[in-house]
Amino acid sequence: VQEAFGREDHAALRRLVTPEMVSYLSEELADNAKNGVRNDVSDVALLQADIAEAWREGDRDYATAALRYESVDVTRERETGAIVAGDADRLMETVELWTFTRRPGTEWQVSAIQGVDA
Residues 6+ apart with CB under 8 A from 117: none
pLDDT band at 3 (very low <50, low <70, confident <90, very high): confident
pLDDT in tens, 7-22: 899 999 999 999 999 9
pLDDT of residue 101: 98
The predicted model gives 38-53 an average pLDDT of 93
Rounded to two decimals, the pTM is 0.85
Q: How many beta carbons lie within 10 A of that of residue 37, not counting itself?
A: 19
CA distance 68 to 72: 14
Q: Which amino acid is present at 111?
A: S
